Amino acid sequence: MRKTAFITGASSGIGWATAVALGRAGFQLVLTGRRRERLEALVQELGDVPTHLLTFDVRDRAAVDAAVQTLPAAFQDIDVLINNAGNAHGLSPIQEGNPQDWDDMLDGNVKGLLYVSRAVLPSMTRRKTGHIINIGSIAGHETYANGNVYCASKAAVAALTKGMRLDLLPQHIRVAEVNPGAVETEFSEVRFKGDKERAATVYKGFEPLRASDVADLIEFMVTRPAHVNIAEVLILPAAQGAAATIRKE
């Protein structure tokens, strides 16, 4: 019998790659995101992997709750939750920051993680089993100039992961965090408001991680024996030594 993995932000980047990896590993998938057409394209790539699609914005608590309530019986018992949805907006000193960008990052990266976890946890606590992986960032452990609110939001993910692990320990639910460094996805394009040229410069001169590199790590973590919890991982490209320190050729 296939286990069920619930992946947020599956319409691109790490979420998409994780869906491919876990589908290959034998999971059935609940794929969520805001872009239905992208999720449907992912289903085509997955082939015969059993999937169910949910379209919602993690920042909308009512939409999250309503969507999870619609899961068909075959997908209701969630074994693995990948809290991947999140965003970065802007790269400005704090005195010049856009408050709407701040709201978007805190609502998506922190509150969205909470809303989805709260909606999915009843299926885990009822069965006293489950595995949650929160996608953090090196930015949650090393603050860099102009990263202020984004770094703060990912630091919150780190604190929440530790808190969740403690709170859910009696429920036999494993909780872990994956902290990527520089990964070439749509991340920088979103941060720079669709400026593809500026986004491309972020990854010039070195080989960044690919989304599939992070997905491979997640697949390894969720396929360990039940007595093993790889609780926290920092994954960097070989050319990166710290959040803002990258060797470029």
CB atoms within 10 A of CB 70: 9
Residues belonging to the active site: 150
Amino acid at 38: R
The answer to whether the beta carbons of residues 46 and 20 sit under 8 Å apart is yes
Q: Which two tokens stand for residue 181?
A: 């460094």
The answer to whether the beta carbons of residues 33 and 9 sit under 8 Å apart is yes
The answer to whether the beta carbons of residues 51 and 74 sit under 8 Å apart is no
> What is the C-alpha to C-alpha distance for residues 150 and 224, in angstroms, rounded to an integer?
31
Q: Cβ-count burial of 100 within 10 angstroms (0-12 exposed, 13-18 middle, 19+ buried)?
A: exposed
> What is the C-alpha to C-alpha distance for residues 31 and 226, in angstroms, rounded to an integer?
24
Find the length of the chain. Answer: 249
> What is the C-alpha to C-alpha distance for residues 179 and 202, in angstroms, rounded to an integer?
18
> What is the C-alpha to C-alpha distance for residues 157 and 211, in angstroms, rounded to an integer?
20
CB atoms within 10 A of CB 46: 18
